[in-house]
Amino acid sequence: MKKVGFFRSIHVKLVLIYVLLIFVAMQIIGVYFVGKLEDNLVSNFKDSIKGHINLLTYSIGEEMIKERGEDDPTLEEAINTILKDKDNTSKDISEVRVIDIRSSRVIGTSDSGNQEIIGRKTTELTVKQTLGIGEDDEGIYRDPETGRRVWVLSTPIEANSEIIGAIYLIADMENVFEQMSEINNIFIKGTAIALGITALLGVLLARTITRPMADMQKQALAMSKGNFSRKVKIYGDDEIGQLAVTFNNLTKKLQESQSSTEGERRKLSSVLANMTDGVISTDRRGRVNLINQPAAKLLNVTRETVLNQPIIELLGLEEEYTFDDLLEQRESIILDYSTKKEAYILRANLSVIQKETGFVNGLITVLHDITEQEKIEEERREFVANVSHELRTPLTTMRSYLEALADGAWEDKELAPSFLNVTQNETERMIRLVNDLLQLSKMDSKDYRLSKGWVNFNKFYDHIIDRFEMTKNDDITFVRDIPNENYYVDIDEDKITQVLYNIISNSLKYSPEGGQVTFRIGTIESFIVVSVSDQGVGIPKNVIDKIFDRFYRVDKARSRNLGGTGLGLAIAKEMVVAHGGRIWAESMEGKGTTVFFTLPYEQDEEDEWS
pLDDT band at 158 (very low <50, low <70, confident <90, very high): confident
pLDDT in tens, 529-582: 999 999 888 888 878 878 887 766 665 544 444 445 567 788 788 888 888 899
Query: What are the distances in angstroms from CA 25 to CA 18, 31, 34, 415, 540?
Result: 11, 10, 14, 139, 109
| DSSP structure class, residue 601 | B
The whole-number pLDDT of residue 596 equals 94
Cα–Cα distance measured from residue 596 to residue 610, given in angstroms and rounded to the nearest whole number: 28
pLDDT band at 597 (very low <50, low <70, confident <90, very high): very high
pLDDT of residue 437 exceeding 80: no
Q: What is the DSSP string of 286-327?
A: SBEEEE-HHHHHHHT--HHHHTTSBHHHHTT-TTT--HHHHH
Average predicted confidence (pLDDT) for the chain: 80
Residue 598: Cβ within 10 Å count:
22
pLDDT in tens, 490-500: 998 888 888 89
The predicted model gives 107-118 an average pLDDT of: 81
Go through the domains of the chain in sequence order and give each one's CATH number.
11-174 (3.30.450.20), 275-369 (3.30.450.20), 374-444 (1.10.287.130), 453-609 (3.30.565.10)
Cα–Cα distance measured from residue 509 to residue 475, given in angstroms and rounded to the nearest whole number: 13
Q: Which residue has the higher pLDDT, 423 or 522?
A: 522
Residue 579: Cβ within 10 Å count:
20
Pairing between β-strand 583-588 and β-strand 360-369 as defined by DSSP bridges: unpaired
Q: Which residues contact 488 (CB under 8 A, 6 or more apart)?
A: 454, 455, 456, 457, 601, 602, 605, 606, 609
pLDDT of residue 51 exceeding 60: yes
